[in-house]
Amino acid sequence: MAAASRVPVHIVTGFLGSGKTTLIHSLIEQKPVGEKWAILVNEFGQIGIDQAMFDARDDVVVKGLPGGCLCCQLAFVLQAALVNLLARSKPDRVIIEPSGLGHPAGLLDLLRGEAFQDVVAVQDNIATLDPRRLDEARVREHDTFQDQLNMADAIAITMGEQASNAQHQQAQQFISTLWPARKWVYTVEEGVLPVSLILDSGQARQQDQPAMPAEHQALAPALA
């Protein structure tokens, strides 16, 4: 399938409580008229996007996939849900919100695999970062936290109003150490990320990605 006819898919990752859901809500509110979006949400251990909020709309379809982690335990479920969603709803754009503890590697492997390579175009992988979490050693040193940011094409700094100037400076310094440089870094105010940042995004880099941590590999089924 020609690149222009493939459905753009955006992944919004980020550690627990980093504002992913609020960010996606803001993008939905700015959705271009005439576009139909599908949102796949992993409600693993957290409050996800409320499907009922969008029941009355025919331009936004929300599908929750509770009960496990999208990157490993729910890989087969995600594949089936996405195939069904693309066939039945025919969205113009898909946004996937994994669990805050979900590792992006398995999800990217699935989307770039044989089942979807001619159907979807994986766009910039966006990671959310709450600057305050860098003060917590157990978070800062967590493999998944680090890999989410290392694998991100772009970073949205969230919870800006609740972080101090020093915490913002620390976040910028942390991001500046990542290589290659992120395509963009945006400090979100009042939960709003300009939708132009995803509409104008290119395809995600085919970079060497960190291996999925052993605790996720043990749960991941082998996809045919």
| Per-residue tens of pLDDT for the chain, all 224 residues | 455 689 999 999 988 888 888 899 899 999 999 999 999 887 654 555 666 666 667 899 988 876 666 555 567 778 888 999 999 999 999 999 887 767 778 888 888 888 898 999 999 999 999 999 999 999 888 888 888 899 999 999 998 788 899 999 999 999 999 988 999 999 998 889 999 999 987 665 655 555 444 444 444 444 33
Rounded to whole angstroms, how far apart are CA atoms 149 and 177?
11
Instruction: Please work out, in degrees rounded to the nearest 5, the angle formed at the alpha carbon of residue 55 by the alpha carbons of 27 and 67.
Output: 80
- Judge whether 167 and 174 are in contact, CB under 8 Å: no
- Judge whether 129 and 158 are in contact, CB under 8 Å: yes
Rounded to whole angstroms, how far apart are CA atoms 138 and 169?
20
CA-closest candidate to residue 117, choices 82, 73, 148, 155: 82
Rounded to whole angstroms, how far apart are CA atoms 121 and 111?
8
Go through the domains of the chain in sequence order and give each one's CATH number.
12-201 (3.40.50.300)
Rounded to whole angstroms, how far apart are CA atoms 110 and 75?
8
